[in-house]
Amino acid sequence: MYILGKSVVFTLYGESHAPYIGGFLEGLPEGTEVNIGQIDEELALRKPSNGIGTPRTEPDEVEFLSGLENGRTTGEKIHFRIRNTNTDSSKYEMFNRTPRPGHADLPAIAKFRNHEIKGGNQFSGRLTASVVAAGSIARQFISEYGITVGAFTKSIGEVADGEDRSITDASNSRKNPTRASTKDLDSMMTKEIIEASEDGDSVGGVIECIATGLPIGFGGTWFESLDAEIAGAVFSIPACKGVEFGKGFRLAGMRGSESNDPFCFDNGIKVRSNNMGGILGGMSNGAPMVFRAAFKPTPSIGKEQDTVDLERMENAKIKIEGRHDPCIVPRAAIVVESITCLVIADQIRRDSLWNLKI
């Protein structure tokens, strides 16, 4: 069981080449408005774009089996599923014998009896479609509290966005296939992806996510810290290898006088800078929550690599053909947003500050 959350509980199920992937979402109050068109728009942002994504395309039509009626939640468990229509497993057979470096093949074969690597199975990025569908419902719930979540691509390979960006920039990035915040950066990032792909290679990058509207004190402490729960959830996205809040690892090299965000009165209590990414003690300090997630280059690449032959128990070479994303980042941006919405929805249903408001 792949379960996220305590009060708003999301259960993910499915495999890349099974008939369906899907999920259950429990714990949202009765009567939350759910716009199916918005779910479809957000699922479209996860689809591969021409030239910079896998040629595997799927219609991603969400079928709701329970929990929604006349565009509103009923308060019962929401069950939805998405059909897998494009499931050619032939190119994956060799990975059962010669596991792909950088992918989950080897540990999965060691752990699960009769594991078959069909399309990456439960380790496939395909399952993130269900995260986006559930996250879109959570996003519509948290918007009732004035909370907005947006992400954009901060870097791909060597191309980095050096500016401080806002939630509006994140929203505008939805127009750009790489999810860069500007058209110019989008062109440069596209070039970076295409160059890697033409070289039989892949490239990684960083996604920045921003959440606005969190009141001072929202969140939890220790294991329920907002940053701890978000980091845990974001790390579960396949290929995520790092999460940092605010200035993150750069804080380690600063002095306190430089890193502390001073408070001031300016139409309410505000912080003058946002080195902490909006979190103190696991709770919001009222500033936008800002974190970045690092995604590694796609493991399946066309270049020849060293691996092992598990039948002959000897060294082997592997050259991967088939349909793979040369860069995961553009498609992962909406997944990062969606999982963040799920964690915030869960914390709203647990947090007494918000319960007072309901």
Distance between CA 103 and CA 110 in Å, rounded?
13
Q: Edge-to-edge strand order for the sheet containing 2-4?
A: 2-4, 9-14, 20-26, 78-83, 62-66
Q: Which residues, in sequence order, are CB contacts of 319 under 8 Å at separation 6+?
A: 302, 303, 304, 305
- Closest contact distance (angstroms) between CB of 197 and ligand FMN is 11
Nearer to ligand FMN among residue 132 and residue 283 (C-beta): 132
Which residue has its beta carbon closest to ligand FMN? 125
Nearer to ligand FMN among residue 270 and residue 296 (C-beta): 296
- Closest contact distance (angstroms) between CB of 57 and ligand FMN is 12
- Closest contact distance (angstroms) between CB of 79 and ligand FMN is 23
Nearer to ligand FMN among residue 226 and residue 328 (C-beta): 328
* Distance in Å from the first CA to the final CA of the chain: 31
- Closest contact distance (angstroms) between CB of 37 and ligand FMN is 22
- Closest contact distance (angstroms) between CB of 342 and ligand FMN is 15
Beta strands in the chain (DSSP E): 2-4, 9-14, 20-26, 62-66, 68-69, 72-73, 78-83, 148-156, 159-160, 205-212, 240-245, 263-265, 269-271, 279-280, 283-284, 289-295, 305-309, 314-318
Nearer to ligand FMN among residue 290 and residue 335 (C-beta): 335
Nearer to ligand FMN among residue 124 and residue 274 (C-beta): 124
- Helix, strand, or coil (residue 9): strand
- Closest contact distance (angstroms) between CB of 76 and ligand FMN is 30
> What is the contact surface with ligand FMN in residues (CB under 6 A)?
54, 103-104, 120, 123-125, 128, 237-239, 296, 298-300, 324-325, 328, 331-332, 335
Nearer to ligand FMN among residue 176 and residue 298 (C-beta): 298
